[in-house]
A = this chain, B = another copy of it.
Amino acid sequence: MSYEFAPEIVSCGKILRGGFAGILFLTFAVIALQAQTKTVAERLGHPADSKLLIIHADDLAVAHSVDTASFEALNKNAVTSASIMVPCPWLNEVAAYAKDYPDADLGLHLTLTSEWKSFRWGPVESKNKVMSLLDPSGYLWPETAQAASNLKPEEAEREIRAQIERAMAMGIHPTHLDSHMGVLFSKPELFAVYVKVAHEYKLPFFFVKIPGIPNQLLALLSDKDVIVDSFAMANPTVRPEEWKDFYLNAIRNLKPGLTETIVHLGHDGAELQAVMVDHPDYGSAWRQRDFDFVTSAEFKKALDENHVVLVKWKDLKKLLN
């Protein structure tokens, strides 16, 4: 998807409303294309002008309902990839899935916020070593803006390292990293931590090319880093009845290059309604709509008709070596 097609997705991200302030979380996730002699498509052995697409499910481990919907979508190849929230209480359920399905393309959704009202979590690291990550209740901050204001980069680094180590200790072999609610894109010091840790663990990491990136961020990248050219994600301006058309238009308007479609899967039942109470955006019904769409025959047909080449993060990980 190009920016011309759906400019709102570039600046929107996960805008949390209700008790949550509107947040633009991709402000700093705006990385200009590095000089590469070959496109990502060519590096993967496809024609240079291929339309590559990662279909990515966020938020595994936050709720059983999210896990079951995401596992079903992964098993049906309705999504190519997903990422896991390591501090969340259903992590063992996801680790068991990862063991049963070693080919599943699972990354880590590095988590520095705890955004729901009824259901919360703290850090993986000892709290007294990451005090700037904690709200007054001792959980992670609920909002990206609060996290961005309060986080000490060295403490954010300590926590994301702890999350990676915890996941690996549980037998998860992450294929990539990304950032829950975009906290690691919210200011350059946090983005620097994200890139540094990803490089050390030799993991590809999600970021999107947008013109006008500060040179200080560009300087952090290596020639091997894989850059996502654009991304598509439903946002609160998309009405429920427009859901299918939003995604189908995104597919029809894909441009050559690497795109990631980010979806939030779940089943709209009692558990998810309670986790996401008072929060329709990225809420329970939203996640059911995303699940219904990605598992639909229309989505599969649109991908085929538009000659979309599906890509997994583990394919991109091989390019780093």
A residues adjacent to B (C-beta < 8 A): 64-65, 68, 89-93, 96, 117-122, 124-129, 136-138, 166, 169-170, 267, 269-271, 274-275
Q: Are A64 and B274 in contact (CB under 8 A)?
A: yes
- How far, in angstroms, from A169 to B121 measured CA to CA in the complex? 16
Q: Are B137 and A118 in contact (CB under 8 A)?
A: no
CB-contact partner of A129 in B90, B120, B128, under 8 A: B128
A89, A119, A120, A125: residue with the most chain B Cβ atoms closer than 10 Å: A89
Least CB distance, A292 to chain B, in whole angstroms: 18
Closest B residue by C-beta to A166: B138
A136, A269, A274: residue with the most chain B Cβ atoms closer than 10 Å: A274
- With A126-B128, A126-B129 as given contacts, are A119 and B271 in contact (CB-CB < 8 Å)? no
A91, A122, A166, A267: residue with the most chain B Cβ atoms closer than 10 Å: A122
Q: Are A274 and B93 in contact (CB under 8 A)?
A: yes
Q: Are A119 and B137 in contact (CB under 8 A)?
A: no
- With A90-B118, A93-B274 as given contacts, are A137 and B64 in contact (CB-CB < 8 Å)? no
- With A129-B126, A129-B128 as given contacts, are A89 and B271 in contact (CB-CB < 8 Å)? no
Set of chain B residues within 8 Å of A118, measured between Cβ atoms: 64, 90, 92-93, 96
CB-contact partner of A128 in B128, B170, B267, under 8 A: B128
- With A119-B93, A121-B89 as given contacts, are A137 and B269 in contact (CB-CB < 8 Å)? no
- How far, in angstroms, from A274 to B63 measured CA to CA in the complex? 10
Set of chain B residues within 8 Å of A138, measured between Cβ atoms: 124, 166
The 10 A-B pairs at the shortest CB distance, nearest first, are namely: A271-B271, A93-B118, A126-B128, A64-B274, A126-B127, A126-B126, A89-B89, A89-B119, A92-B118, A90-B119
A64, A96, A125, A169: residue with the most chain B Cβ atoms closer than 10 Å: A64
